Amino acid sequence: RNRHLSPPHGLHECSTWQVTGSSPRPVHESWTHAPYCVGTGNGGGSMCVFTNTEFNSGRGIAIIGQPAIVETLVNEGLLQTAAPETGSSSSPTKYTETERPGSGIGLYVKSSQSYKAGEIIMREYPTLIVASGTSDSIQPQVLEMLRWKALLQLPRTTRQGIRALAQSHVMHKDEIEDILDSNAFTHEKGGAVYDLIFPEAARMNHNCIPNAVTRTNHTTLAMEVIALRDILSGEEIAHSYLDPSIELSFGERAKRLGSGWAFQCKCALCSGGRTRLERSDKRRKKISHTKALLETAKGDPGKILDHVQTLLNLYTEEGMILPKADYYALAAHACMYLGEKKKARRYSRMAKQLWDVIFGEGSRESESMIEFENNLG
């Protein structure tokens, strides 16, 4: 499916971002329009459009899905807004949308502004949700009609914002389907998959060496974009549409981005010339090879530490930040087995620092490193 891939395992989990507010309102009071339903023809089920135009200070939200799934989402707190979005007075933006040839609109840090590693760049609530299974259990024309119904029920500004998003214009696709394919973020929750439209976050371009990462709140399905490293004035804010924990060569990335999103990548690495690309491909191959060696080193902390240090150096040279967290943690454990407490503590802190960024402070991953340090004595 042509979607922003799910972030690497567990990345969507956000255990620290607590939702405040009262208990959810009854489901029947949640919508400003009567739910619009069609039978799916599969065992008498139905697929509906649920819309609340007042949600999120009048930006609105429309959801396409089976009533039971949507009811569960609402009961779990979907319609509670937990924290201000960026762009509000309490959270002004330090980035701006700029159009550049080759990659269209992207998000760039404003002049004399910057982000620190771990800083929240953007927080946004979804405006359109398509619940999983929807496309498998319903005729394409009916689904197309439901998508249009959902869009047309949204407030005009929101609708215009969604229709202004990028499209691939390939294969005479339906407009809304094309917008979803080019812009939706996928989130998994309770065995279901949701395609989510965040009109602002959707302006983020792909980069093969991302400086930002996204995480989605499990309850509200709001998305946060976090700086993976310091991002300076004028720099583009970009995340990876591909799973950054897999080292793909330039050719493989080009193939996946072409078939998934129908574009040729113009990020600094991909347009940086042959020498740079060849070096990167070689390094990524070496990373894969070292990972394979690591698999064979099980039970030998000395060897594990050697391979992990090689990997960490290669990731640093390549500018890849996200995959390092797991290896910092592994290095910490290897050092502990080798009796090198000081080094173990250092690696453990590096793992925690990165997991704080990726999953949030207080996340299971970050807490595990605190426990590790406590057990070190």
Ligand X SMILES: C[S@@+](CC[C@H](N)C(=O)[O-])C[C@H]1O[C@@H](n2cnc3c(N)ncnc32)[C@H](O)[C@@H]1O
Residue numbers at the binding site for ligand X (CB under 6 A): 102-106, 165-166, 168, 182-183, 202-203, 205-206, 261, 263, 265-267
User: Whose Cβ is closer to ligand X: residue 166's or residue 293's?
Assistant: 166
User: Whose Cβ is closer to ligand X: residue 141's or residue 171's?
Assistant: 171
What's the residue count for the chain? 377
Does residue 146 contact residue 40 with C-beta atoms inside 8 Å?
A: no
Q: Among all residues, whose Cβ is closest to ligand X? A: 104
Question: What minimum distance in Å lies between the beta carbon of 260 and ligand X?
Answer: 9
68 Cβ partners below 8 Å, 6+ apart?
none
The CA distance from 294 to 298, in Å, is 7
Question: What minimum distance in Å lies between the beta carbon of 36 and ligand X?
Answer: 28
Question: What minimum distance in Å lies between the beta carbon of 65 and ligand X?
Answer: 22
Question: What minimum distance in Å lies between the beta carbon of 108 and ligand X?
Answer: 12
User: Whose Cβ is closer to ligand X: residue 242's or residue 336's?
Assistant: 242
User: Whose Cβ is closer to ligand X: residue 206's or residue 307's?
Assistant: 206
Place of tokens 């999103």: 261
Question: What minimum distance in Å lies between the beta carbon of 128 and ligand X?
Answer: 14
The CA distance from 131 to 153, in Å, is 17
Neighbouring CB atoms inside 10 A of 107's CB total 22
Provide the edge-to-edge strand list for the sheet that holds 128-131: 36-39, 46-52, 61-65, 128-131, 192-197, 185-189
Q: Quote the tokens at residue 337.
A: 């087995």
User: Whose Cβ is closer to ligand X: residue 21's or residue 258's?
Assistant: 258
Does residue 37 contact residue 47 with C-beta atoms inside 8 Å?
A: yes
User: Angle 156-163/175-183 helices, nearest 10 degrees?
Assistant: 70
User: Whose Cβ is closer to ligand X: residue 274's or residue 342's?
Assistant: 274
Question: What minimum distance in Å lies between the beta carbon of 181 and ligand X?
Answer: 9
Amino acid at 117: A
